[in-house]
Structure 1
Amino acid sequence: MPIVPRPFIAALALLLAGCAAAAPQPTPVGAETTAGAEPLSDQDLQARWWTWAASSPENRNPVVDDTGQWCAENQPRDVWFFAGTFGGTVDRRCEVPAGRPLAGPALNLASTSDACARFMEDAKGSVALDGRLVELRRIAPVAIAYQAARGNVVGQREGRVTGQGCGLWAWIPPLTPGEHELVVDGESGSFRTSARYVLTVRAAD
C-alpha cells in the first residue's frame, strides 16, 4: 500500500501460508463454518477494510498489533476484519462474535493503477482456516475511496482518500463456536508478511 510509508502498508499485505509436503487444496470453507452473508463487492470490501485499517493510531491499531489485544478495535457490526503485518510474523489471539463473516487480504495494496499492476505481478499469498486453504479472490486495480482517521498508521492525511485497490482477498462465512486457527501469509517482491490467529468464537446468547 504505497499509500503508506512502510513496506507492508506501503502495500498493506497479509499472509503467506506455510510450506507443507502435501499442500491442501483450496476450498470455500466447509464444515467448520456456518451459512453467512453474501460477500461484499471488490470495491466495498477494499474500501471498508482500508477504512478499518486507517481508523486507529499505531498504539492501538490491529495491523500493528503483535498479540491480538486490539483485534476488536473499530470492527464493524456485520463483518470481522483480519490483517497481516507491516512485514514480519506475528501470533494473535482474538475473540470473534458469533454469526459474523470474516474478511481480509493475504496481500493487498492501495495506490495507483500502475503500482497495483506491478504489485500484483509478483503477488502470492494464502489464507488457511483450521489447516484448509480458503479460496482467494484476486482483485485487479479498482477505484476505491476510504476514510482515514487523524494519526492513522497508513500514512494518509485525515479524511477521504481515493486511489486504486488490489490484492488477494478472503471471505469466510461465520465460524462455528469454539477455537479456530487462521493463518495468513503473503509476499510480493522482497516484502513478506505472516500472521497466525487463534480465534475463539463464543456461542450466541
Structure 2
Amino acid sequence: MRENVRLPSAELQGRWWTWAASEPEATNPVADTDGSACGRNQPHDVWFLAGTFGGQVKRACEVPGGRPVAAPVINFVGDRQDCATFMRTTQGTVLLDGKTVEPETYSGDSITVQSTQGNPVTEEVGRFTATGCGLWVQLPSLAPGTHSLKIRGRSGDFSIGVDYVLTVAASSI
C-alpha cells in the first residue's frame, strides 16, 4: 500500500482480523498493555494498530517510516445480523496530534480471516468467512518523529480506549 492508497474496506478488515488472530494471548497485539507486541507479524505495506478487548490502555509503538497506518476505532466480526446490531449504537473518536480524524463506517463486509490456534481474538481456527464491521481509520504515512494517537470507541456497553505514542522512523525509501 503506497502512502496515499487506501485499502477497500473488506480487504482492510480481512487483513486486520487475520493479523490480530495470528498470535496467542501472551504476544497478541489486542491483549497488549504497553505496546511491546505492536510489531508482531506486521505486513510489509501497512502498519496495523489494535484496540483492546474492552477498557483502556496506553501503548508506545515504533513505526517504520513510509508506511500508512490503519486501525479499528471499534470493530466486530460475526454474521450480518450481529454486525447490524453492533453498528446501531457504534460511535467513536480519533485524535492524531490533537486534531480530529473522522473514522470511516464499515457497516458489514464479507471478509476472509485466517486465524491461529490459541489466539484470543476469534472463536474459529483456520480460514473462515464472516462479516466484518465497525469504525476504522486509515492514515497516510506519518512524518518522522513522535505522534500522539488517541482512539475511543463504543458500541452498547462495550467500550475501548487506546492512547498510542507512535515513534516514526525516518523512511528508508
Q: CA deviation at 1:37?
A: 3.5
Q: Say whether residues 1:135 and 2:102 are aligned partners.
A: yes
1:105 paired residue number: 72
2:138 aligns with one of 152, 164, 171: 171
1:192 aligns with one of 135, 159, 164: 159
User: Aligned with 1:104: secondary structure?
Assistant: strand
Pairs aligned (count): 171
CA contact (8 A) 1:183 1:197 kept: yes
2:116 paired residue number: 149
Task: Give me the identity figure in percent.
Answer: 49
1:70 paired residue number: 37
Q: Say whether residues 1:203 and 2:164 are aligned partners.
A: no
Q: CA deviation at 1:50?
A: 0.2
Q: CA deviation at 1:134?
A: 1.1
2:8 paired residue number: 41
CA contact (8 A) 2:115 2:122 kept: no
- Map Cα deviations across residues 105-159 of structure 1 (whole Å, 9 max, x no partner): 1011100111100110000011111011112110111111110011111133321
Q: Tell me the distance in 1 between the aligned counterparts of 2:108 and 2:166.
A: 31
Residue ranges of structure 2 left out of the alignment (5+ in a row):
none
**RMSD over aligned Cα atoms:** 1.1
Larger relative CO (CA 8 A, sep 6+): 1 or 2? Answer: 1
2:147 aligns with one of 180, 188, 192: 180
Structure with the higher fraction of residues in strand conformation: 2
Q: Tell me the distance in 2 between the aligned counterparts of 1:51 and 1:184.
A: 21
Q: Say whether residues 1:86 and 2:53 are aligned partners.
A: yes
Residue ranges of structure 1 left out of the alignment (5+ in a row):
1-34
